[in-house]
């Protein structure tokens, strides 16, 4: 298996101490996502894409995190302990990289993700009533919710397809006609960044509620 090969001679001999030096960041991230594997999978895929690597299939994630048959579950998905997450990062330090390169390639994305999650946790309580009202007016219609989402995108991303909104942002089938309220709220919260202010999203909601 490709993944197990990567965990052998291609891993840095000092991988453990390199990862240990970033323990605080990794543990903060683990705490913010409550160890949810679905969130960790998203993070690892984002790191892969940023470094020009292919997306990681579920078996690779299961290998990196040492997922077991009896892995703890929460809200329908597996959760891992912080030590499992640190071990996964240990398996991601290539033999040719040093601490600084690992920081740039991997840890910087973890820090960015921590910032985004903290931002979402701060603004979502204020935005939830607006987003709930918008969803109710649209009756969860995927075309209408996508039209709202497109209005939030910067000009250079206006070609973002509806299938990507549904599959990547909402995590539903790309041909879904409807999006449940909790799915909509979760998708928006998970994909926010610091440019998504209460004012910006509220104004866009008001526009589509008018």
pLDDT of residue 51: 93
d(CA 15, CA 21): 10
- Give one word for 160, left, alpha or beta, with left for phi > 0 and alpha for psi -120 to 50: beta
pLDDT of residue 11: 81
pLDDT of residue 78: 94
The angle formed by the CA atoms of residues 115, 119 and 122, to the nearest 5 degrees, is 145
Q: Do residues 38 and 77 lie in contact, with contact meaning Cβ atoms separated by under 8 Å? A: yes
pLDDT of residue 154: 84
pLDDT of residue 76: 73
The angle formed by the CA atoms of residues 50, 52 and 55, to the nearest 5 degrees, is 85
pTM of the model: 0.84
pLDDT block averages, 10 residues each, the chain of length 210: 46 92 98 95 94 94 93 88 96 93 96 96 97 97 96 81 93 95 95 93 95
- Work out whether the CA dihedral 190, 196, 198, 202 comes out positive or negative: negative
Q: Do residues 149 and 165 lie in contact, with contact meaning Cβ atoms separated by under 8 Å? A: yes
The angle formed by the CA atoms of residues 199, 115 and 42, to the nearest 5 degrees, is 105
From residue 58, how far is each of 7, 18, 40, 66, 155 by CA, in Å? Answer: 16, 25, 11, 12, 33
* One-character DSSP codes across 38-57: HHHHHHHHHHHHHTT-PPPP
């Amino acid at each position: 298996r490709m993944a197990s090969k990567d965990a052998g001679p291609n891993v840095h001999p000092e991988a453990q101490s390199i990862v240990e030096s970033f323990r605080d960041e990794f543990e903060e991230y683990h705490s913010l996502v409550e160890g949810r594997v679905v969130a960790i999978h998203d993070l690892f895929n984002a790191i892969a894409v940023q470094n020009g690597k292919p997306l990681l299939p579920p078996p690779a994630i299961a290998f990196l995190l040492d997922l077991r048959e009896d892995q703890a579950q929460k809200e329908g998905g597996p959760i891992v302990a912080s030590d499992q997450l640190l071990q996964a990062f240990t398996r991601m330090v290539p033999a040719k990289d040093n601490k600084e390169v690992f920081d740039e390639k991997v840890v910087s994305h973890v820090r960015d993700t921590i910032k985004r999650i903290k931002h979402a946790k701060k603004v979502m309580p204020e935005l939830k009533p607006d987003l709930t009202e918008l969803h109710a007016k649209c009756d969860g219609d995927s075309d209408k919710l996508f039209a709202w989402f497109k209005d939030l995108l910067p000009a250079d991303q206006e070609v973002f397809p509806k299938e990507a909104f549904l599959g990547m942002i909402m995590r539903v089938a790309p041909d879904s006609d409807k999006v449940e309220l909790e799915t909509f709220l979760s998708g928006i919260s998970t994909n926010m960044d610091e440019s998504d202010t209460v004012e910006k999203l509220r104004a866009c909601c008001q526009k589509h509620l008018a």
